[in-house]
Amino acid sequence: MNYKLINRLDPIGYLGLTLIGFIMPEISYKIFLFDFSAELAENQAMIIRSTGIPIYFAAMAFFLLGGNAENGKQLNLIRYSGGLGMIAFAVFTDFNGYFLFGLLEISLAVITGASIKKEQEEASNKYTTEDL
């Protein structure tokens, strides 16, 4: 899979999750917990909605900056650290969905890193064959 496609689709998923969190926070709560029988208390709705702001900001940054290889490398650093942060957050809270999101982000960082490396190798091979 191409890193440009991943850097466009991944933020769209998070933007969708943010939108769902603002409109129907109980669904996001169930996704974050991975417990689809959980009931959202009235005072917890604001907490779920407040998580949407940083997710929205990060998703828009990924969406806008993910088009070239150099930005893709920098975004991978954010993916690795963000994935580790989400895993740590999941360990210390009941939000088990963050564990899966963290693993997903680390996996996407590995896949996009390989895609960027492959594209750069192909570009350098093309350059050397044209010189001859």
Contact 117, 3 (CB under 8 A): no
pLDDT digits (tens, 9 = 90+) for 73-105: 888 999 999 999 999 999 998 888 889 999 999
Neighbouring residues of 107: CB distance < 8 A, sequence distance ≥ 6: none
Reading the block at residue 74, the tokens are 């920098």
Q: Answer with the residue of higher pLDDT: 128 or 54.
A: 54
Q: Answer with the residue of higher pLDDT: 57 or 130.
A: 57
| Residue 19 clears pLDDT 80, i.e. is over it | yes
Rg of the chain on CA atoms, in Å = 18
| Residue 132 clears pLDDT 60, i.e. is over it | no
Q: Answer with the residue of higher pLDDT: 130 or 28.
A: 28
> What residue spans define the domains of the chain?
3-131
